[in-house]
RNA sequence: UGUCCGAUGGUGUAACUGGCAACACGACUGACUCUGGAUCAGUAGAGUCCAGGUUCGAACCCUGGUCGGACAACCA
């Protein structure tokens, strides 16, 4: 009994969407049905903000034993493309969600939508307007000043019907006429000031081809599409809150099923931008290398960066949902991927900034195979062999001639553990006077301290990773960091814009020396480079030119300590 | 000088719907460690935008402010 109580306490409390849904369920609003949808426009790539929405919609569907549709809101042929349709489906699937046989397109409903428009005209609730876009805009008024009624507002039902039919038939050029709802030009809600319902667009649609030359506006398609699909809960972002009045009006006037729209605050992430327009700008101006550049917050970018679907789902779960504006710390996303990869990725050793160590008392030409644990978090991942020889690379940062306090790494006279190998002592240093840097570190090793041997338990402060010089596999390593150096790049100073805050160090390419076990690693494979971070084999990688992307560094309490000193 | 929405540690989300503010990330200690990782233990940090009111009792309810956001595309 006590246990049950504590279990109940541990249960996560409901978010406001779940609360609304459960209330509707209790009141038997939709005969117990829960049906959601994810409705992207195929005009760009999905990003982490969409991932939040996808997880929300599909998650809710699953939680309440309901269904979730994938519907493309493809009402604007000039901006949309099958390229985006394909990438969106790939991304949703990759995230781990399944719309089963419920793949829909707003364009599937064009005929039905047209009939709805005719109903409105017949009821005297819509009219054909001949004003230009500029005139319509000028007469709309401002949020605090009412608009002016269109001179075409009083056309007869017959004339409107005739004109609308001819619009569809292609008798009029683009922009010459629109169909407008007849609501209220003085409404305090701008969206109720006779909004445009249909426009003439002689454009080829990616699905309907040239069948139509009039296309419904989003506002005339979205709500009705939800209605047609009998969506119970239309979950969308905050900016559509003001549109809800219009959707409700349309649905009431047409006389069809009314879904319930609920708005939530979109995701914002620190050190990046999330608007499609801005992401497109980065791509077009080649500030990044395409939509799937690993620095992009796009799903395909994150995938290429090495993020897992699980980590993104965890992230979506952990950030919660509410209606207030929010900026999530990038460090939370990083936490999610570290947590996931720590448990699942195998470890290897790689040196990214090498300095040579020569072990003077290790026989020349001798090679020992060291046994290394693949993943200390998961014994089932087994072990591998790593060749050890007289000449090794270690990281240049792991050696200091004059070490500060608490420096646990190598320094003259000091000892360190070489991971999965021997204890090493630094005897002397050879410097390249021209370059002013160390060229060789001469050491001795203690043969009794090989990992696993009785003497190997000797306490040494630090452990270094290493790679045998003669066995090292070279690779291109792309070190990624946050795309922007400003926490909120959108918040630009006078005369600047978000691009002025791009982090110049967001990508550094270096040559890495890796242990030979990764020689045949395939694109998509993930590893932890011990003490450095998590890395994924990039799609650019080939057999004779390995390429790795750094997903995220390991948590590093040393550089933090160093900074604070 | 419009309409709508929102306001809880640095960040995000909770608070069993009115019962002395919790969880996660982050930060900081320390233990442990053949990854300065992981793990474990712990600390600091908000008195809930402000002012009134209702109530035995308010983060939750009411009133009035303040601040922030959204809305004026033949975009979605």
Residues 6+ apart with CB under 8 A from A288: A282, A295, A296, A483
Burial A505-535 (b: 16+ CB within 10 A, else e): ebbeeeebbbbbbbeebeeebbbbbbbbbbb
C-alpha A371/C-alpha A383 separation (Å) is: 7
User: H-helix or E-strand containing A23?
Assistant: helix A16-26
Which residues 172-191 of chain A have a CB under 7 Å from nucleic chain B? 174-178, 188-191
* Cβ A342 to strand B below 7 Å: yes
CA of A291 to C1' of B36 (A): 36
C-alpha A96/C-alpha A308 separation (Å) is: 10
Q: Which nucleotide lies nearest residue A13, CA to C1'?
A: B14
CA of A511 to C1' of B5 (A): 52
C-alpha A475/C-alpha A496 separation (Å) is: 38
User: H-helix or E-strand containing A67?
Assistant: strand A67-72
> Do the beta carbons of residue A221 and residue A73 sit within 8 Å?
yes
Superfamily of A276-346+476-564 according to CATH:
Ribosomal Protein L25; Chain P (2.40.240.10)
Q: Which nucleotide lies nearest residue A270, CA to C1'?
A: B11
CA closest to C1' of B13 belongs to A320
A52 catalytically annotated: no
Per-residue pLDDT tens digits for A19-67:
999 999 999 999 999 999 999 999 999 999 999 999 999 999 999 999 9
C-alpha A146/C-alpha A151 separation (Å) is: 16
Residue A399 DSSP label: B
Token pair belonging to A46: 């999905």
Alpha helices in A243-329 (DSSP H): 244-254, 276-284, 299-305, 309-319
Per-residue pLDDT tens digits for A201-252:
999 999 999 999 999 999 999 999 999 999 999 999 999 999 999 999 999 9
Q: State the pLDDT at residue A537.
A: 98
C-alpha A422/C-alpha A278 separation (Å) is: 52
* Cβ A335 to strand B below 7 Å: yes
C-alpha A68/C-alpha A36 separation (Å) is: 5
Q: State the pLDDT at residue A493.
A: 81
Q: Looking at the domain A13-266, which fold is it?
A: Rossmann fold (3.40.50)
> Do the beta carbons of residue A359 and residue A367 sit within 8 Å?
no
Q: What's the burial of A306, exposed, middle or buried (CB within 10 Å: 0-12/13-18/19+)?
A: buried
In chain A, domain spans: 13-266, 276-346+476-564, 355-465
CA of A522 to C1' of B60 (A): 55
Q: Which residues of chain A have pLDDT under 70?
A: 1-11, 565
The complex's ipTM? 0.95
* Cβ A397 to strand B below 7 Å: no
* Cβ A203 to strand B below 7 Å: no
Of residues A102, A276, A344, A356, which has the active-site annotation?
A: A276
C-alpha A320/C-alpha A339 separation (Å) is: 18
C-alpha A551/C-alpha A535 separation (Å) is: 5
For chain A, percent helix, then strand, then coil, each to nearest 5? 35, 25, 40
Of residues A33, A260, A266, A381, which has the active-site annotation?
A: A266
Q: Looking at the domain A355-465, which fold is it?
A: Ribosomal Protein L25; Chain P (2.40.240)
Which residues 86-145 of chain A have a CB under 7 Å from nucleic chain B? 131-133, 136-137, 140-144
* Cβ A535 to strand B below 7 Å: no
Would A276-346+476-564 and A355-465 be classified into the same CATH topology? yes
Strand B bases, protein C-beta under 7 A = 1-8, 10-15, 17, 24-29, 34-39, 68-76
Collapsing DSSP to helix, strand or coil, A220 comes out as helix
Q: Which nucleotide lies nearest residue A219, CA to C1'?
A: B76
Token pair belonging to A98: 């399944």
C-alpha A555/C-alpha A552 separation (Å) is: 9
């Amino acid at each position: 009994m006590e246990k049950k109580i504590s279990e109940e306490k541990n249960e996560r409390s409901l978010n406001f969407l779940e609360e609304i849904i459960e209330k509707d369920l209790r009141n038997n609003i939709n005969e117990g049905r829960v049906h959601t949808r994810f409705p992207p426009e195929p005009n760009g790539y999905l990003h982490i903000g969409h991932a939040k929405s996808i997880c929300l919609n599909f998650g809710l569907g699953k939680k309440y034993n309901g269904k979730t549709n994938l519907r493309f809101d493809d009402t604007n042929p000039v901006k949309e493309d099958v390229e985006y349709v394909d990438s969106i489906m790939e991304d949703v699937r990759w995230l781990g969600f399944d719309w089963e046989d419920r793949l829909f397109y707003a364009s599937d409903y064009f005929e039905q939508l047209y009939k709805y428009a005719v109903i409105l005209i017949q009821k005297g609730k819509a009219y054909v307007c001949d004003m230009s876009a500029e005139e319509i805009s000028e007469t709309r008024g401002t949020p605090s000043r009412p608009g002016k009624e269109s001179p075409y507002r009083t056309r007869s039902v017959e004339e409107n019907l005739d004109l609308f039919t001819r619009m569809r038939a292609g008798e009029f050029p683009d922009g010459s006429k629109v169909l407008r709802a007849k609501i209220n030009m003085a409404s305090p809600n701008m969206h109720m000031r006779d909004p445009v319902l249909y426009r003439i667009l002689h454009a080829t649609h990616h699905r309907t081809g040239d069948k139509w030359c009039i296309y419904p506006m989003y506002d005339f398609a979205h709500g009705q599409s939800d209605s047609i699909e009998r969506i119970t809960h239309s979950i969308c972002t905050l900016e559509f809150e003001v549109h809800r009045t219009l959707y409700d009006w349309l649905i009431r006037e047409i006389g069809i099923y009314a879904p319930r729209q609920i708005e939530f605050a979109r995701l914002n992430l620190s050190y990046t931008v999330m608007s499609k327009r801005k992401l497109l700008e980065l791509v077009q101006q080649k500030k990044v290398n395409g939509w799937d550049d690993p620095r992009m917050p796009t799903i395909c970018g994150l995938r290429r960066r090495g993020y897992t679907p699980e980590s993104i789902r965890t992230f979506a779960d952990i950030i919660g949902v509410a209606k207030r504006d929010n900026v999530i710390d990038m460090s939370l996303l990083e936490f999610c991927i570290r947590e996931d990869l720590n448990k699942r990725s195998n470890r290897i050793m790689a040196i990214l900034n090498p300095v040579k160590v020569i072990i003077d008392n290790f026989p020349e030409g001798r090679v020992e195979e060291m046994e290394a644990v693949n993943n200390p978090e998961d014994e089932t991942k087994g072990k591998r062999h790593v060749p050890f020889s007289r000449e090794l690379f270690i990281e240049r940062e792991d050696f200091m001639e004059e070490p500060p306090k608490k420096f646990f790494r190598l320094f003259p006279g000091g000892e360190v553990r070489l991971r999965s190998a021997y204890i090493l002592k630094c005897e002397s240093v050879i410097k390249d006077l021209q370059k002013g840097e160390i060229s060789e570190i001469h050491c001795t090793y203690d043969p009794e301290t090989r990992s696993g041997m009785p003497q190997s338990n000797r306490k040494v402060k630090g452990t270094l990773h290493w790679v045998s010089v003669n066995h090292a596999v070279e690779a291109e390593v792309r070190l990624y960091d946050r795309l922007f150096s400003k926490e909120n790049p959108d918040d630009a100073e006078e005369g600047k814009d978000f691009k002025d805050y791009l982090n110049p160090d967001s990508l550094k390419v270096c040559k890495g020396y890796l242990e030979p076990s990764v020689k045949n690693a395939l694109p998509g494979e993930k590893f932890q480079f011990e003490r450095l971070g998590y890395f994924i084999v990039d799609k650019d990688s080939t057999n004779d030119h390995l390429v790795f992307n750094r997903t995220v560094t390991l948590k590093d309490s040393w550089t933090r300590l160093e900074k604070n000193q």
